[in-house]
Amino acid sequence: METKPSISDHQPRIIRYPAPAETYLEDHIEEILSRLPVKSLLRFRCVSKSWRALISSKRFIKAHLEHSRKDTTNFTRHVIVSTSTPPGGIRLKHCSLPPLFCGLVADSSDVDFPITNRVGSVCIRGNCNGLVCVVIDKKHIYLWNPSTRKFKEMPHADADVDSNSDDTTKAIIGFGFDESNEDYKVLAVFNVGRDETNVKIYSLRTNSWKIIDVFKDGLTLSETGTLKGSDSRGWDIVSLDVGSEVCGTVAQPSYVESDLAPWFGLFGGCLCVFYHHPKIGVDVWVLKEYGVTESWTKMAGRPEFKPLCIGPKGEILVVYGQGFLIYSPKDYRFRLIVMRNACPFLEADVRYESLVSAFLLS
């Protein structure tokens, strides 16, 4: 061993060095495992009791979620689409993102959606932290983690809402995570008549719905963290903080006014707004940081393009009609992508993998 100073002759500045204690691969297991896809992690629960305990722990699930969220390689991201399959059924298909960005043709596979006895219709109503909110046969709402294949059916939302609104298709559904209470919430806005809405919010923690006194007009909604909507009067963008359940407005970018109502989407988890100018085109604005008005960024857009997510080299995956294309903002080029067995599709969403369970909270 080289001249290693003993504790007594340490000079104070040497304290800054890491103790040369021996470390083992075991000490870095969490660091490594938090980068694995969910399928591998669920398999490796069999490695040992301590691995199973680690992989099931709240702290690890959170660390893994953070990696999935930040992952710029899109290694653990998937596109999920609903397609109509004759006769009359709707199926969910999915495809991992990297092949979509790399090639011209990518294979899709059937999502192993666990509810097989009801396949009349399947609507994707947002996703958050790896959980997807799906509505089956227009009234059964599920929170489902496609990576773990676990799902939970929510109690009916319409039990004490006016009888003419018992159809969830008439409701606008939004899904979000309430960070302050570590809870997942689903917002349902039922239009019960002209200028009248019933708004209910579901909490996974209490596993129940309650009526909240917000949004008295018809709304269109989209998801994540805070739910955002559009007030039909004067094109305000209104929001609901799913934590405090208080609504507010979102300051808009300095867009060019148009007679047409703007519409909304999500792009890489950020709110984006489309301002349509007939015969001229569409301005797409993305709110890069929620709550920061200066972070509104204008993107090149076309009326028929709906941006979905950003690729590792800055390319953008765009929904175009009932298919996909990859758009490169650097040189304004785009190419069509075929997602085999899944085109045309009805709706598309991008989710990332997580171990988050709809059962942990309740």
Partner 1 sequence: MAAETGTPTTLTLKSNDDELFSVAESAAILSVTIRNMVEDGCAGGVIPLDNVDGKTLASVITYMNGISAIPADEEKKKSYRDKFLSDKDFETLADMVLAANYLNMSCLMDAVSAKIAQVMEKKSVGWVRRKFGIENDYTPEEEAAVKEEHKWTFEGVETDDDN
Interface ranges with partner 1 (CB under 8 A): 1-2, 4, 13-14, 16-18, 20, 22-29, 31-33, 35-37, 39-40, 42-52, 112, 148-149, 313
- If DSSP states are collapsed to H, E and C, what string results for 15-43? HHCCCCCCCCHHHHHHHHHCCCCHHHHHH
What is the smallest separation between the CB atom of 316 and partner 1, expressed in angstroms?
A: 17
CB nearer to partner 1: give 45 or 276. 45
What is the smallest separation between the CB atom of 60 and partner 1, expressed in angstroms?
A: 14
What is the smallest separation between the CB atom of 106 and partner 1, expressed in angstroms?
A: 18
- Do 202 and 161 touch, CB atoms closer than 8 A? no
- How far, in Å, CA of 55 to CA of 139, rounded? 34
SS3 content of the chain, % helix, strand, coil (to 5): 15, 40, 40
- How far, in Å, CA of 317 to CA of 195, rounded? 37
What is the smallest separation between the CB atom of 169 and partner 1, expressed in angstroms?
A: 32
Cα 239–Cα 123–Cα 302 angle in degrees, nearest 5: 65
- How far, in Å, CA of 143 to CA of 324, rounded? 26
What is the smallest separation between the CB atom of 82 and partner 1, expressed in angstroms?
A: 22
What is the smallest separation between the CB atom of 71 and partner 1, expressed in angstroms?
A: 9
Residue 161 is given by DSSP the state: S
CB nearer to partner 1: give 71 or 236. 71
Of 327, 201, 217, 199, which is closest to residue 261 (Cα–Cα)? 217
Q: Would you call 295 helix, strand, or coil by DSSP?
A: helix
- How far, in Å, CA of 67 to CA of 93, rounded? 24
User: Tokens representing 194?
Assistant: 């002209």
**Any bridge partners for residue 211, and if so which?**
200
CB nearer to partner 1: give 23 or 295. 23
**Any bridge partners for residue 39, and if so which?**
none
CB nearer to partner 1: give 22 or 257. 22
CB nearer to partner 1: give 20 or 234. 20
CB nearer to partner 1: give 16 or 233. 16
Q: Would you call 115 helix, strand, or coil by DSSP?
A: coil
CB nearer to partner 1: give 64 or 125. 64
CB nearer to partner 1: give 17 or 332. 17
**Any bridge partners for residue 350, and if so which?**
79
What is the smallest separation between the CB atom of 307 and partner 1, expressed in angstroms?
A: 21
CB nearer to partner 1: give 80 or 199. 80
User: Tokens representing 232?
Assistant: 């039909």
Q: Which residues contact 111 (CB under 8 A, 6 or more apart)?
A: 80, 91, 92, 93, 94, 146
User: Quick one: 312 exposed, middle or buried, by C-beta within 10 A (0-12, 13-18, 19+)?
Assistant: middle
What is the smallest separation between the CB atom of 70 and partner 1, expressed in angstroms?
A: 11
Q: What is the phi-psi region of residue 224: left when phi exceeds 0, alpha when psi lies from -120 to 50, beta otherwise?
A: left
CB nearer to partner 1: give 7 or 32. 32
What is the smallest separation between the CB atom of 119 and partner 1, expressed in angstroms?
A: 20
What is the smallest separation between the CB atom of 239 and partner 1, expressed in angstroms?
A: 33
